[in-house]
Amino acid sequence: MASFNKIIIVGHLGRDPELRYTPSGTAVCDFSMATSERKGRRDSGEGEEITTWFRVSLWGKQAELANQYLTKGKLVYIEGRLSQREYTDRDGNKRTSLEVNGTDMQFVGSRGDEMAAGAGGGRPSAPSGSREAPPASDAIGDDDIPF
């Protein structure tokens, strides 16, 4: 049987995306992303929140879209391949980094989050280079997430 590596993450950006281009002109966008879960008893509120950080890279048109529309704190859905990299930090400590080579990105959030400018029914037009959210048709809702 063939094997495959696939990860789905729905989390918040830890920093603004950084866009760069390879020597051949391919766009690459990198950002950090965090997921959180609560461990312990939900009924009493006891326990701790566990946060897992990922380094995400998107390529091509998705990289350009991520750079244009995503900002620190935004919720986003990413599919891709997971890899783990070990390295030594500046202080000589061994660290592990979870890295995702993204293959699919979906904007997550309510229309109200994306169109906070007002109750006008129309879609706002984003000026060139703007980081305004994309139209709500690109967003997925809680019912669309398979877990």
- Spatial CB neighbours of 122, under 8 Å, sequence gap ≥ 6: none
* Structure-token pair, residue 86: 């070990």
Q: 37 - beta bridge partners?
A: 50
Q: Which domains does the chain have, with CATH numbers?
A: 1-38+47-111 (2.40.50.140)
0.95 exceeded by the pTM?
no
| CB 76 within 8 Å of CB 106 | yes
pLDDT of residue 23: 97
Residue 142 — pLDDT band, cuts 50, 70, 90? low
> Phi and psi (nearest 5°) for 20?
-145, 170
Compute the distance between CA of residue 71 and CA of residue 137 in angstroms, rounded to an integer: 19
Residue 126 has pLDDT above 80, yes or no: no
- H/E element, 130: none
